[in-house]
Structure 1
Amino acid sequence: MSVEKVDTIIVGGGQAGLAMSEHLGRRGVAHLVLERNRIAERWRSERWDSLVANGPAWHDRFPGMTFDGIEPGSFATKEQIVEYFEAYAKQIAAPIRAGIDVTSVQQKAGGAGFLVETSEGSFEATNVVAATGPFQRPIIPTVVPAESNILQIHSNHYRNPGQLPDGAVLVIGAGSSGAQIADEILRSGRRVYLAVGPHQRPPRSYRGKDFCWWLGVLGHWEAKTRDPSMEHVTIAVSGARGGHTVDFREFASRGMTLVGKADFFKDGVMHFEPDLADNIAQGDANYLSVLDEADAYAERNNLDLPEEPEARDIGPDPQCVSDPILQLDLAKAGVTSIIWATGYAFDFSWLKVDAFDDKGRPVHERGVASVPGLYFLGLAWLSRRASPFIWGVWHDADYLGDQIAGRPENIAGTDKIASSAAR
C-alpha cells in the first residue's frame, strides 16, 4: 500500500484542529486534518441536549466569523456551535478528511518526521499537531461498585432527565457541567443531591458587563501560570436560560440537597467529607473578589457603569450547609442514579513518542513539544488561562503556525497549497 506524504498532519477536527488549519493555510503550509468522526463531534454526541455555550456569542467564537442569527449577548446552543464550525471549515477551505481514526504516530526510523498509521492507510508527515482537545477520557472514580444496582454515568453520557430511572439522583462534581445538570434534573421534579467540592464561582455579569468581558479587562484570561493550590478547582458558570450566576444557596432553596466532596462508599452508604461549608465560603470569596477587582478597575478607568450593590448580597447558609449530611444511605434516600461530573484525563495512547512526563502529561513549551516537529493544541493552560476556549485556541494556533512555518523543513515548501490533501 502506498504511503501518502503531507507536510503537516493535524489530528482532530474540532475547534483546535480548525484553528490550526486556518493559520497553516494562511502561511501556505500544506496540511491535512484527520478526524475520526465528524467536525466538532464532541459537541454533537458527548454533551447533554439542552447545553448552551458558557460564554456569550460575541466572545465564544473565532475572530473571522460571527454567529449567524444569534444576538451577540446570547448563548449559542450546541447545535448552533456545530453549524458554526461546519461553516467555518468551509470558509477557510479546511482540508478535512472525516471518518479516519489515527491509530499510531511514531518518529520515522533514521530520519526526521513521522509515520502516521490510520484506519485508512499510512501517511508520512514532517509535522504532527495533536489537536484532540482537553476532553479525551472521561473519569469515573471506582468508588461505587458496578454491582450496586445504581446507574452510573459520566456527564458526557448524560442527555436529559428522561434517560434516568425513576428516583433521586446524586450528581458528583459542581463545576459548570455538574451544576447545570443538577439544576436541570431538579427542575424536572426529581430529588437531587449535589456533591460540592472546591470551586470558583464568578458572577455571570456585573455592572452591565458579562464576566467574560471582566476577565478580559482584568487580565485573567492572560494568566500564564496555574496556581498549584487551584490545580483541581472547577469553575461554576452557566449560559443556560439566558445566562445566570450559579448560586448553590438558591439551588438549596428550591429543594436540592448539597453535600461535601464525595469521599468513599461502603455497605450501600456514600460518605462525604466535612468540607461543604468551606467550599461554599471559598466560592463566595472568589465571587466577591471579582466584584472587588471590577469596581477598582471601573474607578481607575473612570468607567460610567451602573452601580450594582445588590450583587454583594449573599444569603444565610441553608440547613444542608450549616448541618451537612456526612453519610447517605443511597437505597433509603431513593438514589437510583449517580452522574459523575468529574472531568477528563489525557488519552494520547496513539502518540507513540517520548514526549510525556512520568504522569503522562505532554512536555511542551507553549504547545511546542520536546520532540521536533510535534505540537500540542487545545489543552488547558497550554500558554495561558484562555487556551482551551474557542477564541483562546485560535490565538495559540497562530503562534504554532509561526513555529511550524519557520522550521527549516517547511520553509522550502511554504509556497505549496494543501489542495492535494483535500481529496
Structure 2
Amino acid sequence: MTVEKTEALVVGGGQAGLAMSEHLSRCGISHLVLERNRIAERWRSERWDSLVANGPAWHDRFPNMEFPDCDPDAFVAKEAVADYFVAYADKIAAPIRCGVEVTEVRRNTGRRGFHIETSDGPIEANYVIAATGAFQHPVMPDLVPADAGIAQMHSAAYRNPGQLPEGAVLVVGAGSSGAQIAAELLEAGKQVYLSVGPHDRPPRSYRGRDFVWWLGVLNKWDAEATPGVEHTTIAVSGVDGGHTVDFRRLAAKGMTLLGRTEAYEDGTLRFAPDLKANIEGGDTNYLSLLDEADAFIERNGLDLPQEPEARRIDPDPECVANPILELNLTDAGITTIIWATGFSVDYDWLKVDTFDDQGRPIHKRGVSKEPGVYFLGLPWQTRRGSSFIWGVWYDAGYVADHIAKQRGYMTYTRSPQRETEDA
C-alpha cells in the first residue's frame, strides 16, 4: 500500500487546527490537516441552539479576519462562528481534509517520524500536532443511576427547552454553560434548580468596556498557569447582548440555588453546605476586578463614566441564607438533570509516551516530552487566554516556530571541509 508523506500532520480542523495551519504555512512547512467531521463541527452539533460566543466579535476572532457584516461589539451566534472558520480555511488555503479520522499514531522504529493510521489510509509525518483541544468527551458523574426514572444529559446534548419532558430541571454546574442553560430554562417557564460550585464571576462590562478589554489592559489574559488555576470555573454570558451573571438575581426570578452536588441515595440528592461561600467567592472575584479597573482608570487618566451601581450586591435570597442540603427529586418534581460538568481529553489514538497517569498531556507550551509531538488548544497551554479563539492563534505561532527551529537542527550537515579533516 502506498503511504502518503507530509512534513507535519495536524489532527483536528477546529480553531486550533486552522490556526496551526496558518502558522505552519508561514514557516514554509508542508502539512495536512485532518478533521473527522466538518470544520468547527462542535460549534454546530455539540452546543445548544441559542449559544453565542462569550466574547464580543472584535475580540473573539483571529487577528487577520473580522466577522463579516457584524457589529464589533455583538456576540456572534454559534453557526456564524462555525461559518467564520470555514471562510478562514478558504482564506488561508488550509490543506484540510474533512471526514477523515486518525485512528493511531506511532513513532517509527529505527528512523525518524511517525506512522499514522487514518480512515483514508496510512500517512507518515515528521511532526504530529494534536489540535483536538480539551473538550473532547462530556463528563457525567456516575452519581444518579440510569434507572432512577430521571432523564439525564450532558450540556453538550442539550439543545433547547422544548426537548425536555414536563417537570422541573436540575442543572449541575454554574460555569458559563450551566448558568446560561439554567437562565434559558427559567425564561421558558421551567422550575429550575442550579447546583453552584466555586467560580469566578467577572462583570460583563464595566465603565463602558467589556470584561475582555479589562482582562487585556490589566494583563490578566497573559497570566500563566499555576496549580489549581487551570480548573477555575468562569460564569459569564453573551446572551441578549451580554450581561453579568448574578446568581442572586436569578434566585429572585424564581431559580433555586444549591451547593455542590455530592451524593445520591434512594431518590434523594445531597448537597455540600458551601453555597454561600461559593456565591461570596464569586462576589470577591467580581469586586476585585472592579477595584483594579478603577485604579487603572485613575492611573492612566482615562475618561470613562462612573458606574457606582455596578458595586451593588443584593441581599442573599432564602435559598442562600438557608441552603437546601437534601432534595428528594420526586417531591421537587424534577424530571431532568443536565450535567454542565465539563469535558475530558481522549488521546487513545496517540501511542506515544507523553501522558500522565490521568491521560493528560505532559508538555511545556504545547511541546511534549515526545520529540516531534505537539499539543494545541489546551486550557492554560501558555496563558489564561490559550483556549480562546484569539489565544490559540498565538499559541499556534509558538508551536510552529518550535517545529521550524527543530527542522533546522535536523537538516544540519557538517561542511565538506570538516568531514575531510576528520577522515
Same-fold status (TM-score > 0.5):
yes
| Cα gap change, 1:98 to 1:222, in 2 (>3 Å) | same
Q: Deviations over 1:88-126 (max 9, x none)?
A: 000000000000010001101111210010111100000
Structure 2 counterpart of 1:262, one-letter code? T
1:402 equivalent in structure 2: 401
Distance in 1 between the 2:126 and 2:206 partners? Answer: 48
Distance in 2 between the 1:63 and 1:223 partners? Answer: 20
What percentage of aligned pairs have identical amino acids?
A: 64
In the alignment, structure 1 segments of 5+ residues that lack a partner are 414-423
Q: Is the 8 A contact 2:137 2:344 kept in 1?
A: yes
2:274 equivalent in structure 1: 275
In the alignment, structure 2 segments of 5+ residues that lack a partner are 413-423
1:7 equivalent in structure 2: 7
1:416 equivalent in structure 2: none
Q: Deviations over 1:158-213 (max 9, x none)?
A: 00011111100000000000000000001000100000000000000000000000
1:90 equivalent in structure 2: 90
Q: Is the 8 A contact 2:230 2:380 kept in 1?
A: no
Q: Is 2:259 the counterpart of 1:224?
A: no
**TM superposition shift of 1:227:** 4.6
Q: Is 2:383 the counterpart of 1:375?
A: no
Structure 2 counterpart of 1:309, one-letter code? P
Distance in 1 between the 2:225 and 2:100 partners? Answer: 35
Q: Is 2:207 the counterpart of 1:199?
A: no
Q: Deviations over 1:267-307 (max 9, x none)?
A: 00010000000000000000000000000111111111111
Once the two structures are superposed, the pairs formed by residues 208-357 of structure 1 within 5 Å of their partners are 208-228=208-228, 230-357=229-356
For these two proteins, the number of residue pairs brought into alignment is 412
Distance in 2 between the 1:54 and 1:207 partners? Answer: 19
Structure 2 counterpart of 1:91, one-letter code? K
Once the two structures are superposed, the pairs formed by residues 60-71 of structure 1 within 5 Å of their partners are 60-71=60-71
Stretches of 4+ moved more than 4 A in 1?
409-413
Distance in 1 between the 2:109 and 2:164 partners? Answer: 51
Q: Deviations over 1:43-69 (max 9, x none)?
A: 010000000000000000000000001
Structure 1 counterpart of 2:318, one-letter code? Q
* Partner secondary structure for residue 295 of structure 2: helix
Q: Is the 8 A contact 1:269 1:329 kept in 2?
A: yes
**TM superposition shift of 1:26:** 1.2
Distance in 2 between the 1:347 and 1:56 partners? Answer: 30
Distance in 2 between the 1:137 and 1:111 partners? Answer: 34
* Partner secondary structure for residue 182 of structure 1: helix
1:417 equivalent in structure 2: none
Higher relative contact order (CA 8 A, sep 6+): 1
**TM superposition shift of 1:408:** 3.1
Distance in 1 between the 2:145 and 2:160 partners? Answer: 24
Distance in 1 between the 2:129 and 2:230 partners? Answer: 25
| Cα gap change, 1:410 to 1:15, in 2 (>3 Å) | farther
Distance in 1 between the 2:314 and 2:404 partners? Answer: 55
Structure 2 counterpart of 1:167, one-letter code? G
Q: Is the 8 A contact 1:171 1:341 kept in 2?
A: yes
**TM superposition shift of 1:13:** 0.1
Distance in 2 between the 1:233 and 1:196 partners? Answer: 13
| Cα gap change, 1:200 to 1:115, in 2 (>3 Å) | same
**TM superposition shift of 1:365:** 1.1
Distance in 1 between the 2:401 and 2:165 partners? Answer: 52
**TM superposition shift of 1:233:** 2.6
2:16 equivalent in structure 1: 16
**TM superposition shift of 1:412:** 5.4
Cα-Cα RMSD: 1.2
Q: Is the 8 A contact 2:230 2:379 kept in 1?
A: no
Once the two structures are superposed, the pairs formed by residues 132-151 of structure 1 within 5 Å of their partners are 132-151=132-151
1:421 equivalent in structure 2: none
- TM-score, normalised to structure 2, is 0.96
